[in-house]
Amino acid sequence: MTRLATIFKSRLSCSAFFYLWFVSQINAQDTASWLSKEITMDGLPSEWKDADLKKDSKAGHLYCIANDSSILYIGLLLKDEILKTKFSNAGFSIFLNSEGKEKRSFSVDFPLPDAEYDIASDPARLMDLKRIQYMGMLHANQYRLSGFNGGNGKQNTSDENKNGVQLALGITDSAFLFYEVKIPLPAIFKQMTSFKEISQQNIAVCFSFNAMTKPSGQSSQSSSSAVPPGPVSGRGGRGGTQPDPQNSGFPARGNAGQDFGQMENLFHSSKTWKTVSLAKPL
């Protein structure tokens, strides 16, 4: 084989490899689920049965991204005790980009970090992850928007938002946290007026878990084996309706089974971007 033929064959192989990689990236892209009926923001996952629930392999949460001709819906289901604790105490954000880029253009921050229940000043609170979750939900009454045309900044969950953004937080019968967000598509695609135009675009969605502040001088090992007192829980509604500690849904053994490595994850943040193509009518 001549040197020219060898070079040509090598370049052809590289081109084929790049093409297969490029196609695999396209195929790996998420596609939103089409919803024919508007979802009521009540913190309950029952209306999401037609949405495609997926698991994020990096952070471990389950999520749904869906849309109809006017609204983008995002659902988050948390089963893991560490994720539920980080979510309810350190706070959580959804970042959006209407051009499909991994760059924050819009954000919905909820729940906001619970300064009144800061474990950094009281390491003993790590003994009871259930109590941390309960206190976080108890104070989950405000959220923050940024990047929208109006109504940015802190909002009360009980007030109507100028952008039409709505959210709800609840607890399922299996003691999982379920968070749902409703965002009108025109609030994200500001220059587009018709769904036909909007549906041609990809949207990037990021799930961002904040890290809890690690108590100085506190060993995670010592708190990982602790078993907290009785469980606390309840069902949530819009904006995190108060859990009822007398009507428990949480398992009775809070930190039992949480090893050192798992507890250490409380103090690490995570961000996962998903590029999503909007669904079209079925």
Q: Please check whether residue 156 lies inside any domain of the structure.
A: yes
Q: pLDDT truncated to tens, each residue of the chain (282 aa)? A: 555 444 434 443 434 333 333 333 333 468 999 998 899 999 999 899 888 899 998 889 999 999 999 999 999 999 999 999 999 999 999 999 999 999 999 999 999 987 777 777 778 888 899 999 999 999 999 999 999 988 899 999 999 899 999 999 999 998 999 999 999 999 999 888 799 999 998 999 999 999 998 887 544 443 333 333 323 222 234 444 444 333 323 333 345 445 556 889 999 999 999 999 999 987
Total domains in the fold of the chain: 1
Q: Please check whether residue 45 lies inside any domain of the structure.
A: yes
Q: Which residues contact 260 (CB under 8 A, 6 or more apart)?
A: 220, 221, 224
Between the CA of residue 202 and those of 72, 98, 103, what are the distances in Å?
12, 7, 13
Q: Please check whether residue 10 lies inside any domain of the structure.
A: no
Q: Please check whether residue 14 lies inside any domain of the structure.
A: no
Q: Which domain holds residue 105?
A: 32-277
Q: Please check whether residue 199 lies inside any domain of the structure.
A: yes
Q: Please check whether residue 27 lies inside any domain of the structure.
A: no
Hey, which residues does 216 pair with through a beta bridge? none
CA 79 to chain centre: 12
Handedness of CA 269, 61, 258, 253 (dihedral sign): positive
237: nearest Cα among 83, 31, 89, 46: 46
Q: Please check whether residue 271 lies inside any domain of the structure.
A: yes
**pTM of the predicted structure, to 2 decimals:** 0.77
Query: From the CA atom positions of the chain, what is the Rg in Å?
Result: 22
Q: Please check whether residue 196 lies inside any domain of the structure.
A: yes
